[in-house]
Structure 1
Amino acid sequence: QKGLSLPKFLEKYGTEEQCYSALFHLRWPDGFVCPECGNKIYCKIKSRKVYQCHRCHRQTSLTSGTIFAATKVPLTKWFLAIYLLTQRKTSVSALQLKRDIGVSYNTAWKMKHKLMQVMLEREKGKKLSGRIEIDDAYIGGERPGKPGRGAAHKAPFIAVVETEGEEHRPQRMQLRTVSGFRSAEIERYAKMSLEVGSIVVSDGLACFKAVEKAGCHPIPFVSEGGRKGVEHPSFKWVNTMPGNVKNAITGTFHSVSLKHVPRYLAEFEYRFNRRYRLDDMIERLAYVGLRTPPMPYRFLRMAEIDG
């Protein structure tokens, strides 16, 4: 997909006034509505950039109660950050974002993680259906100690791909962290994220049979190890996606904190599931950001792995 070119982006969001107007219409498409009493009659206090309700006199800023709350960063830089995170095939590191939009590293890190949190919140409640491929995977750097399954320095996650047609073309993807590959974890995931009646194709790992308890139909294929197993036609996409994600992450970031892995996975999931609508992804992410509660820095740093 062509997406939105940088000149077109700057033409649309190149000034603070353009970005402010875009956020206003995304938050209040039918005009200002007081969040306290629902009244639509207001006045704008320009010196403080707030809207005052004529009925209850509550003052509301454009970004209050949203992921952009209390920001001192110009909206033009927020929109540029959204552009860079949504229009590229791979991610952008906080260090590169710092250089691209002209802010400090800490500010770039907070902006990136807030936007990834928006993506994570948006993807959480959605369900896959039909024919689904599922596989286990790990993400994390190489460190001394126990290798493979159970390694403390790696975060386990499941890759799940909804496919369509005889060629099993990928439609939507989910990348969700789990505490381990146990039946209880897979059952919990399936009840939250898979529609009843879905056909779930797996490599025969015992825990994947737990999707039955969520009303799904497991079809295990015990494949060979190595390249032949990876190239098995039943797992074409679910074997391809995690590899692409891990290569992109290791190629972009020096390291990824395990407690923030859910956000990094959500970023790739969000982009992949909207790959055919790149041109309007900026407004869509800004729209969701306006409906995502504030995420203070202390909470961004304290995030734990949660599937």
Structure 2
Amino acid sequence: MIHLQSLLDDSKCYAEVRELRWPEGVRCAHCASPEVTRQGHDTAHPSRQRYRCATCLRYFDDLSGTIFAGHHQPLKVWLLCLYLMGLNLSNEQIGDELGLNKDDVHRMISQLRAGIVAAQPEPTLSGEVECDEVYIVAGHKGHPEAVRRKNRPGRRRRLKGARGRGTLEKEKPPILGMLQRGGEVRIGMLENVQQPTIKPLILATIAPNATVYTDEYDIYARLPEWGYQHKTVCHSRGEYARDEDGDGFHEVHVNTMEGFWSLLRSWLRPHRGISQEKLPLYLGFFQFVHNVRIRGKGLLKPLLTALLA
């Protein structure tokens, strides 16, 4: 765990970055050679160490090649921002805590969130996997031209979607979730919930011959054709879990996935409306948080490690 006190001093922040980025010693940011020499410190940021590679003869520093390079904000501000993101504060709250301009903090958070999403490997799920979908109301917040194209007035208060199953066009995009029991989760925003739309995501995520549990929604009817064992629970008949093999354990259900949706909604609630354009980044960030299985203060280290990998 990285202690908060370490984030208040730039030199300690750079020491943390060096330790996480090069646990076995400094390597060239360009060619990964271990043959490097120190070349003093950066004039604008005295705590930032500069290096020269003896193999490719190029110069680099502690932040070269990372998401933190080339910005005017001190490293400690970036790490504090990342720390507060791990606590699930909204952009406005983070800006208030750090005393930053709202445009600066929005840009920083967007870059950090995109960096986390890009850095995490997509999980491959196997064994017993639950599949389910949920619908998140998401319009075009911050994009008035998109609202005008839909010929509807802007929503002055709360964004409300039409009842029933939604689509991206109806500003209620579906989110497909796949969760391996006892393992990782994979979620993604879709244009709609149709078999041609979900098939590529399922095939890319779930290993062949896995047992997939779903509800009775007919978009999952072709799972056996796609190479999976398929078991369903019928919510419309009031059935939420079923014991098929008589061992007293009700193994046919999607309750784990539905519990995950409750966590996701709680995570999104402080952000008070997310646009369709940004929603995939929020989903990817929460997927990372769930899969590392760490919350609160301890989340900073895996977040920073992913950004420096």
| Same fold at TM > 0.5 | yes
Q: Please list the CA deviations of residues 164-206 of structure 1 after superposition, one character each: whole Å capped at 9, or x if unmatched.
A: 4xxxxxx432221122212222221122211222211111222
Correspondent of 1:252 among 270, 294, 301 = 270
Q: Structure 1 residues 177 and 73, CA, compared in 2 at 3 Å: closer, same or farther?
A: same
Q: Structure 1 residues 93 and 177, CA, compared in 2 at 3 Å: closer, same or farther?
A: same
Q: Please list the CA deviations of residues 210-262 of structure 1 after superposition, one character each: whole Å capped at 9, or x if unmatched.
A: 4445532221222227xx4678871222222223322432x312320101111
1:110-121 matches, cutoff 5 A: 110-121=107-118
Residue identity opposite 2:10 in structure 1: E
Bigger mean CA deviation after superposition, 31-40 or 108-117: 31-40
Indicate the residue corresponding to 2:41 in structure 1.
Answer: 46
Q: Which runs of 5+ in 1 are unaligned?
A: 165-170, 292-307
Indicate the residue corresponding to 1:59 in structure 2.
Answer: 59
Indicate the residue corresponding to 1:19 in structure 2.
Answer: 13
Secondary structure of the residue that 1:224 maps to in structure 2?
A: helix
Indicate the residue corresponding to 2:195 in structure 1.
Answer: 183
Could you tell me how far apart the structure 2 residues matched to 1:231 and 1:84 are?
Answer: 38
> What's the CA shift for 1:287?
1.8
Q: What's the C-alpha RMSD, in Å, of the aligned pairs? A: 2.7
Could you tell me how far apart the structure 1 residues matched to 2:308 and 2:55 are?
Answer: 24
Residue identity opposite 1:100 in structure 2: E
Higher relative contact order (CA 8 A, sep 6+): 1
> What's the CA shift for 1:15?
1.0
Q: Structure 1 residues 56 and 270, CA, compared in 2 at 3 Å: closer, same or farther?
A: closer
Indicate the residue corresponding to 2:74 in structure 1.
Answer: 74
Could you tell me how far apart the structure 2 residues matched to 1:229 and 1:266 are?
Answer: 31
TM-score normalized by the length of structure 1: 0.78
- Whether contact under 8 Å (2:36, 2:51) holds in the other structure is no
Secondary structure of the residue that 1:267 maps to in structure 2?
A: helix
1:96-245 matches, cutoff 5 A: 96-141=93-138, 142-143=159-160, 148-150=165-167, 152-164=170-182, 171-212=183-224, 214-224=226-236, 228=238, 234-245=253-264
Bigger mean CA deviation after superposition, 128-137 or 201-210: 201-210
Correspondent of 1:271 among 285, 289, 301 = 289
TM-score normalized by the length of structure 2: 0.78
Count of equivalent residues: 273
Q: Structure 1 residues 197 and 259, CA, compared in 2 at 3 Å: closer, same or farther?
A: same
Higher Rg of the two aligned structures = 2
Q: Flag the structure with higher helix content.
A: 1
Could you tell me how far apart the structure 1 residues matched to 2:118 and 2:225 are?
Answer: 25
Could you tell me how far apart the structure 2 residues matched to 1:102 and 1:16 are?
Answer: 17
